[in-house]
C-alpha cells in the first residue's frame, strides 16, 4: 500500500511561503543549535555522548530560570506562582534522569574509543549544575576556581554563591509568617552552606502539625522535598551510569569518579524537612 502525499490544498490556512516571514527553524536558532555537535573523534557513539550532555544543559538552563522565578515569588510571599514553577522544575528533573537511560546504552568499549579526546573536560565542570547547587543552598567556594578562565562566567557563579538559596527564602517566609525563627538566619551570610537550626525545625513541625492553618507553607515544604528527592535520584543514576561505563576509574576532570559521586549522595539540602518525618 502506498501512502498518500499530504494535500495542502485541503488546508488553505497552512503557511508555505516564508520569503518574508520567520520560520520555525529561525525562531529556535536551529542552524546554531544543530551545528554544535562537533565530534573530536571519528567514533559513531561520540554523537550520543555530546547530545545527551547538551540536552541536559538545556534542561538545566530552564531549571535555573524557574528557580530564579520561584525564589523571587517566595521572597514576595507570592507562593502560588512559586508552586507552579517548582512543580515544573520537578518535571524537568524527571527528563534529565531519563537521559541517563539513553547514555547507559554506551558500553565501556565504545566509550574508550573516544574518551581520550575529552582531555580534562568533565561534567564535574558544568557551571549550570553548580549554579543549581548554589540555588539549593550547597555552597562550595573551591568550585569557583574552576571558572577563573572566564571572568563573565565566574561573576555569574560568584553572585549565585553569595545570593540566598531557595531554602533561605523559605526560612525567611517562615519568619514573616510569625514563626520565632533565629534572627541570625535572616539576611545571614548566604555563602555559608546552611546546616540546620532548632528554630527552623520547630517552625516546620508546627506547619506539619497544623496543615490546615499553614497550608501554603506546607505546600512549599513538599515542593522543596520533591526537588531534593528528584535531584538525589539524578545523582544516583549519574553514579550508576558512570560505574556502568568506566567502573572506578578516575574522572576526566580529575575527580575520584564513582567514589566522589557516592559521597555527594549523603548531602541534604533541606535537613529539617527530612528530619521531621521521623519526629512527627
Range 42-121+165-278 classified under CATH 3.40.50.300: no
Q: What is the rounded average pLDDT for all residues in the chain? A: 92
Binding annotation for substrate: 49-53, 111, 115, 252
Distance CA(119)–CA(180), nearest Å, equals 52
- Judged by average pLDDT, the poorest of 11-25, 45-59, 130-144 is 11-25
- Compare 8 and 39 and report the one with higher pLDDT: 39
pLDDT at position 256 is 73
pTM (two decimals): 0.91
Distance CA(220)–CA(273), nearest Å, equals 11
Both ends of the chain: CA-CA distance in Å? 65
Distance CA(96)–CA(53), nearest Å, equals 10
Distance CA(175)–CA(178), nearest Å, equals 5
pLDDT per position as a tens digit, 170-213:
999 999 999 999 999 998 999 999 999 999 999 999 999 999 99
Instruction: Identify the three-state secondary structure at position 36.
Output: coil
| Nine-digit cell string for 107 | 558500553
Label residue 20 by pLDDT band (50, 70, 90). confident
pLDDT at position 14 is 75
> Phi and psi (nearest 5°) for 140?
-130, 110
Q: Please, are residues 40 and 114 in contact by the beta-carbon 8 Å criterion? A: yes
pLDDT at position 123 is 79
pLDDT at position 204 is 98
Q: Please, are residues 267 and 256 in contact by the beta-carbon 8 Å criterion? A: no
Please name the residue ranges forming H helices in 163-270.
Answer: 166-176, 198-209, 215-246, 258-264
Q: Taking the CA atoms of 64, 70, 73 and 75 in sequence, report the sign of the dihedral they define.
A: negative
pLDDT at position 178 is 98
Three-state helix/strand/coil letters over 90-159: HHHHHHHHHHHHHHCCCCHHHHHCCHHHHCCCCHHHCHHHHHHHHHHCCCCHHHHHHHCCCHHHHHHHHH
Label residue 259 by pLDDT band (50, 70, 90). confident
Binding annotation: 49-53, 111, 115, 238, 252
Binding annotation for heme: 238
- Compare 270 and 263 and report the one with higher pLDDT: 270
pLDDT at position 49 is 95
| Nine-digit cell string for 23 | 520560520
pLDDT per position as a tens digit, 54-89:
999 999 999 999 999 999 999 999 999 999 999 999
> Phi and psi (nearest 5°) for 19?
-55, -40
Distance CA(86)–CA(271), nearest Å, equals 18
Please report, rounded to a whole number, the percentage of residues in the chain having pLDDT higher than 70.
96
pLDDT at position 2 is 61
Q: Please, are residues 70 and 226 in contact by the beta-carbon 8 Å criterion? A: no
Res. 13: pLDDT tops 90: no
- Compare 9 and 159 and report the one with higher pLDDT: 159
Q: Please, are residues 252 and 119 in contact by the beta-carbon 8 Å criterion? A: yes
| Nine-digit cell string for 75 | 521572597
pLDDT per position as a tens digit, 139-170:
988 888 888 888 999 999 999 999 999 999 99
Res. 6: pLDDT tops 70: no
Amino acid at each position: 500500500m502506498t501512502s498518500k502525499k499530504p494535500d495542502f490544498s485541503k488546508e488553505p490556512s497552512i503557511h508555505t511561503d516564508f520569503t518574508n516571514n520567520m520560520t520555525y527553524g529561525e525562531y529556535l536558532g536551529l542552524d546554531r543549535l544543530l551545528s554544535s555537535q562537533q565530534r573530536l573523534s571519528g567514533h559513531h557513539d561520540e554523537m550520543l555522548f555530546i547530545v545527551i550532555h547538551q540536552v541536559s544543559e538545556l534542561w538545566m538552563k530552564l531549571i535555573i530560570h524557574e528557580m530564579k522565578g520561584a525564589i523571587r515569588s517566595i521572597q514576595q510571599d507570592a507562593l502560588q506562582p512559586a508552586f507552579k514553577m517548582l512543580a515544573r522544575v520537578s518535571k524537568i528533573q524527571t527528563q534529565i534522569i531519563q537521559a541517563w537511560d539513553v547514555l547507559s546504552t554506551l558500553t565501556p568499549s565504545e566509550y574508550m574509543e573516544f574518551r581520550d579526546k575529552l582531555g580534562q573536560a568533565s561534567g564535574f565542570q558544568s557551571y549550570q549544575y553548580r549554579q543549581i547547587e548554589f540555588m539549593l543552598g550547597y555552597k562550595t567556594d573551591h568550585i569557583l576556581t574552576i571558572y577563573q578562565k572566564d571572568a563573565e562566567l565566574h561573576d555569574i557563579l560568584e553572585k549565585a554563591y553569595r545570593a540566598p538559596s531557595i531554602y533561605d527564602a523559605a526560612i525567611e517566609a517562615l519568619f514573616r509568617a510569625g514563626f520565632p525563627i533565629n534572627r541570625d538566619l535572616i539576611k545571614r551570610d548566604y555563602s555559608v552552606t546552611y546546616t540546620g537550626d532548632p528554630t527552623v525545625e520547630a517552625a516546620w513541625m508546627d506547619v506539619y502539625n497544623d496543615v490546615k492553618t499553614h497550608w501554603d507553607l506546607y505546600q512549599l515544604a513538599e515542593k522543596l522535598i520533591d526537588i531534593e528527592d528528584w535531584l538525589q535520584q539524578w545523582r544516583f543514576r549519574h553514579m550508576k551510569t558512570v560505574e556502568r561505563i568506566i567502573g572506578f576509574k578516575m574522572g576526566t576532570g580529575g575527580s575520584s569518579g564513582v567514589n566522589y559521586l557516592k559521597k555527594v549522595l549523603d548531602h541534604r539540602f533541606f535537613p529539617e524537612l527530612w528530619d521531621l518525618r521521623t519526629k512527627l
